[in-house]
Structure 1
Amino acid sequence: MGKPGDLGTLFDDLVERRTGTVVRLSRPLDVAPDFGTEYDVPALASLVRNIAGWLAAAGVRPGDRVAVVKANHWDYVLLACAAARVGAVPALLSDQLAPETLRVLLSRLSPALLVTTRAVLERAAEHGVALLGVARRAVTLEGRYPDTLPLDRLRGHEPPPPVFRDDDEPLVIHHTSGTTGVPKLVVHTNRSLVLGLAGAESTRLPVVSCRRKDTVCSAIAFAHGRAIPWTASVLWLAPKEVVIIDADDPARAEPVLRAFPPTTLEALPSTFVRWRPLAAGDGNPFAGVRLFVSTFDAMHPPTLRAFLGATRRRPLWVQVWGQTETGPLTFRFMTRRSLRATAARHPTTRNLGRPVPGRVRLRIVDPRTFKPVPRGTPGLVLVRTGTRGVDYVGERARWEAKADGEWWNTGDIGVRTRFGSYLMLDREVDFLPGESCVELEDVLEDRVPGLVECVVLGTPGRLPLPVVVTENGRLDPTSWRKALGDLPAMADPLVLQWDQIPRTGTGKVRRMELRAVIRTGQDTFGTGRWT
């Protein structure tokens, strides 16, 4: 078997391949809290079968939806595999979503079973939201909870034989990041998620693919669309070790990173920002990393330089741009040399590289007429890819509004350069005429010492407002004025703490919610039609 073929039997197939990878966890799995932090592949296959047994005992049948809402950890993927094995469609929802948002999404899903935790239910109840009523049945991973199935009575049941489905039938439901409101529920199939995304990544390529001797580390949001294809492809390539870190808290991550120093590292952009202090000094845990990977959101030059400078090797950084609906669309390789500090106005990280060869086509069009615009002219980004999902649950009209035949409206504003690469400017809803909020954020983070994060908000009739997070909670006015230099006029910066910035489960800033927090109003230059 040359590539991953089925999610439900993924780990059984890995056992047949005699995959010798050891998986190490930053904490025990929520589905198996008493079984430690180290697994081989046969043990993982057994765990997936056991979970499939208790899902079947809970009454889950082929075609049912199983919603999962819990703390971030890799067992989101194992639960998805188990649900797929019994023929159900797993819907993976982050516990970082607001309780009312969770209720909306669960209502759209109408799941046969909700797999969750006491913490999720109790937090929702504190906000006056009852989540149990929107699922036919529910189970909490800690055990007994009022009006839920007792987990102890479900464990130990023999799993039914694997159920196989057509490659174009619904396989998994992921939600989008939700930076601009209630997330969409994206339906993916075996053709798009496993055969397409995981199949492409499980091809062994020079430099960017993991190697047999690698220690591959992942610190991402495991409820989101990246986790399943990443898991399938990495384990298919069988590195020596896989290290899973569930939290971005540097104090929790550092012991794991030092115990199992990674040679490849993929993390959320916000996690790289929070781990940046760990990259300082000769004894840092990233000294052996040869490959860094970032997806999910924009990254800024100072953070990339910090990690590329932390390793004693000749590292490569792969920056990937994509969406939950489509998977990866463009990629760019960066090195210490390409990120060398410069006085240039346009930072290199805004260039997101080229479309994935042979898989993705990209087109820039006028947002009003949808006619192609010349290279170098900003416009709405449309893409064509074979790994696109098939629907939004409960929002078919919204899906159809973004799909134009084989082309998909990303809702991003960008520029195609004369060399064929793609410059990311902004989300259409956040667009700043004649400028780029994301570019201004790049420049300011590059120029202002001690700046951890910068978010620029554009509002009609007002100067752009920079909202900043600093290392010490203060902003030196002299450094700030010096940084403005050749930049457009901006309002006085607002300094907040990291935890005051509303974020999604993937660490992205919820810009519309941030506007509400700082009371700047919801007016933007964009229409928001394609969010």
Structure 2
Amino acid sequence: MFLQRIGNKGIRLGTLFDRAAARHPANFVILDHDLDIAPGLGRRASLTEIAGLIDDFASRLWSVQVRPGDHVVVHKSDNFDISLLACAVARIGAIPVLLSPKLDGETVAELLRRVGRPFLVTDQEKLDTSLPAEVHELSRQVLLASGEYAGTTTFASLAGVPRVPAVSMPADHPTLITHTSGTTGTPKLAVHTGKSFQARYRPQATIVAAGVRRSEPVAVHVSFVHSRMFTAMPISILQGHPLIVLREDDPETVGDLFSQVPPGFIEAHPNTFLRWEVLADDPRGPLANVKYFSSTFDAIHPRTVNRLLQGSRRSGRRFAQAYGQSEVGPIAARTYSLKDGADFNGRCVGMPFPGMTGVRVVSRDGNQPTKENPGFIEVRSDGRIVTYLGEHHRWEKQVNNGWWRMGDVGYRTKYGCLHLLDREVDEIPGVQSTLEIEDKLFTRLPDLVEVIIIPGADGTPVPVVCTRDNKPLDQVTWKSAVAGLPPMGDPVQWRLEDLPQTATTKIKRLELARLLTAEGPAAQ
């Protein structure tokens, strides 16, 4: 029924909350922070209130001559209003371009050039601390979500403008632009359409609809600029689930909120779930009501999956992991239960969605791809982006007769299950899979909160480790844990907060390798 209601119109971000409020007027959204654009709204708002807020800010944008087809870059301090502003931009037919609050000012300036004199929505804090002065020249107009700054227009000054009707755009028109992780350089700008988002709905909406009662809240801790936010959010509110939106991932704060409003479904980044392992032992039982945990961003370690499942008391509880990419959405998936233990094969990322996605592994040398001789993973999906803005040639390089090169290496078993071994750029000669080694170390060393295997200056695999509460790594325990693993250099201990991270908390391995070779100051 839900999937039929989406029809062929694709995602309509601009009227998303209007439609959700019409179907479920008593439903609400709970926040763990105040909105910068509407601090008086509070942390529990009805769908109707949020729909009105989006309508209001869409009208404010219209009043400064933002029109259908215009690009509006949103780069401001981390807040759920980033996602709401994207809806406001889309409501008047313009195209939101979302840039992570974690991007440095020079990268933001470069992406503004690539877009080509867009409107820029930012705030005083960003202009005071990180954005270079040239962003004013690179933007048609600079709008402030909060604070004041010379030469800009504040949203507050536009309060009370006449409301304007929503603008309907074709389903194949760009509806949102997000950026790639930037793990290998300057991020690329991925162009999504209503149709491509619709294709991503189908597999994800099925899981939520089948596993969680409508009355149960869905909790989301996802980067507000990531494409996943714009499928997780609609699925939740259109199906009638109360939505919990988290900015913070501090376990104590999250435990407080989940104890008061127990979610039935949680979507988060792998590294967020890693931090939340401690909630499994929390006497308040913040995870007790969770039927499904879900993650679609990166490899997640078996230990983390097992610990989270131990924290739930629901029968039939599952952890759903999807393999995908910002450019194509979810492609393959599998679920885990408690009986899988803490040492299952985390490199098995599941099967494609029947009738929705396809996967093949292309040989690199003419031989059948295997674990010992992995090939390039390529996928098919209607959820694929239509281009990289300003860099269509780079998009074309990854497409081969409709198959999209993921940039990963792996193989498929005789039953069709996909195994992901490594990113192409992260392969280390002589190491079959750095991810597999990391999985094993996590299982064997409970105090690890991160471990990344990267090449040292001479090519030797070097483990960079982070421990809970930054406790010194026990060398005797370490030597026991690496027994039977490929030879590696001595571990280097870092603080977790010092590791270079993307907007979705992935570790930038190439950047970390560069820092390690340069003996960066964060190394301990």
In the superposition, the TM-score normalised over structure 2's length comes to: 0.93
1:437 aligns with 2:437: no
Aligned to 2:293: 292
Letter in 1 for 2:194: N
1:478 aligns with 2:476: yes
1:50 aligns with 2:56: yes
Residue 474 (structure 1) shift = 0.8
Q: Number of aligned pairs? A: 509
Residue 460 (structure 1) shift = 7.9
Aligned to 1:62: 68
Aligned to 2:264: 263
Aligned to 1:279: 280
Aligned to 1:2: 5
In the alignment, which of 375, 381, 401 is matched to residue 385 of structure 1?
Answer: 381
Aligned to 1:112: 118
Aligned to 1:498: 496
Letter in 1 for 2:54: V
Give me the whole-angstrom Cα distance separating, in 2, the residues matched to 1:373 and 1:189. Answer: 36
Q: Secondary structure at the match of 1:180?
A: coil
Describe the shift of the 1:365–1:372 C-alpha distance in structure 2 as closer, same or farther (beyond 3 A).
farther
C-alpha offsets along residues 144-196 of structure 1, whole Å, 9 cap, x if unaligned?
A: 21111132221221232221122112111011111121111000111111x22
- Residues 270-419 of structure 1: matches in 2 within 5 Å? 270-314=271-315, 315-338=317-340, 340-342=341-343, 347-367=344-364, 373-374=368-369, 377-419=373-415
Q: Secondary structure at the match of 2:273?
A: helix
Q: Secondary structure at the match of 1:309?
A: helix
Conserved in 2, the CA contact under 8 Å of 1:58 and 1:149?
no
1:454 aligns with 2:451: yes
Residue 72 (structure 1) shift = 2.8
Residue 204 (structure 1) shift = 7.2
Give me the whole-angstrom Cα distance separating, in 2, the residues matched to 1:365 and 1:38. Answer: 49
Residue 375 (structure 1) shift = 5.5
After TM superposition, the structure 1 stretch with the greater mean CA deviation from structure 2, 254-263 or 512-521, is 512-521
C-alpha offsets along residues 296-338 of structure 1, whole Å, 9 cap, x if unaligned?
A: 1111122111111111123200001111110101111001111
Give me the whole-angstrom Cα distance separating, in 1, the residues matched to 2:283 and 2:257. Answer: 18
Give me the whole-angstrom Cα distance separating, in 2, the residues matched to 1:32 and 1:133. Answer: 28
Conserved in 2, the CA contact under 8 Å of 1:308 and 1:335?
yes
Residue 281 (structure 1) shift = 3.8
1:510 aligns with 2:508: yes
C-alpha offsets along residues 402-447 of structure 1, whole Å, 9 cap, x if unaligned?
A: 1112110111111111111111111100012441111111111111
Give me the whole-angstrom Cα distance separating, in 2, the residues matched to 1:122 and 1:251. Answer: 31
Q: Secondary structure at the match of 1:363?
A: strand
Conserved in 2, the CA contact under 8 Å of 1:143 and 1:152?
no
Q: Secondary structure at the match of 1:70?
A: coil
Q: Secondary structure at the match of 1:146?
A: coil
Describe the shift of the 1:138–1:432 C-alpha distance in structure 2 as closer, same or farther (beyond 3 A).
same
Describe the shift of the 1:341–1:79 C-alpha distance in structure 2 as closer, same or farther (beyond 3 A).
closer
Residue 255 (structure 1) shift = 2.5
Letter in 2 for 1:197: R
In the alignment, which of 124, 133, 151 is matched to residue 130 of structure 2?
Answer: 124
1:465 aligns with 2:462: yes
Conserved in 2, the CA contact under 8 Å of 1:414 and 1:426?
yes
In the superposition, the TM-score normalised over structure 1's length comes to: 0.91
Q: Structure 1 regions of 5+ residues with no counterpart?
A: 522-531
Aligned to 2:239: 237
Q: Secondary structure at the match of 1:364?
A: strand
- Residues 151-300 of structure 1: matches in 2 within 5 Å? 151-193=155-197, 195-203=198-206, 207-208=210-211, 210-239=212-241, 241-300=242-301
Q: Secondary structure at the match of 1:168?
A: coil
Residue 15 (structure 1) shift = 2.9
Q: Secondary structure at the match of 1:317?
A: strand
Residue 32 (structure 1) shift = 1.0
Letter in 2 for 1:155: A
Residue 279 (structure 1) shift = 2.3
Q: Structure 2 regions of 5+ residues with no counterpart?
A: 520-524
C-alpha offsets along residues 470-527 of structure 1, whole Å, 9 cap, x if unaligned?
A: 1243111111111111111100000011111110111000111112222269xxxxxx
Conserved in 1, the CA contact under 8 Å of 2:455 and 2:513?
no
C-alpha offsets along residues 116-159 of structure 1, whole Å, 9 cap, x if unaligned?
A: 1222222225xx56433211101111142111113222122123
Letter in 2 for 1:432: I
Conserved in 2, the CA contact under 8 Å of 1:473 and 1:497?
no
Give me the whole-angstrom Cα distance separating, in 2, the residues matched to 1:461 and 1:202. Answer: 47
Residue 202 (structure 1) shift = 3.9
Give me the whole-angstrom Cα distance separating, in 1, the residues matched to 2:38 and 2:490. Answer: 50
Describe the shift of the 1:297–1:203 C-alpha distance in structure 2 as closer, same or farther (beyond 3 A).
closer
Letter in 1 for 2:447: G
Conserved in 2, the CA contact under 8 Å of 1:100 and 1:129?
no
Aligned to 1:83: 89
Aligned to 2:522: none
Give me the whole-angstrom Cα distance separating, in 2, the residues matched to 1:259 and 1:227. Answer: 23
Letter in 1 for 2:245: I
Conserved in 2, the CA contact under 8 Å of 1:265 and 1:293?
yes
Conserved in 2, the CA contact under 8 Å of 1:169 and 1:190?
yes
Give me the whole-angstrom Cα distance separating, in 2, the residues matched to 1:365 and 1:143. Answer: 52
Letter in 1 for 2:72: V
Task: Answer 1 or 2: which has greater helix percent.
Answer: 2
Give me the whole-angstrom Cα distance separating, in 2, the residues matched to 1:207 and 1:103. Answer: 44
Q: Secondary structure at the match of 1:506?
A: coil
Q: Secondary structure at the match of 1:34?
A: helix
Letter in 1 for 2:107: T
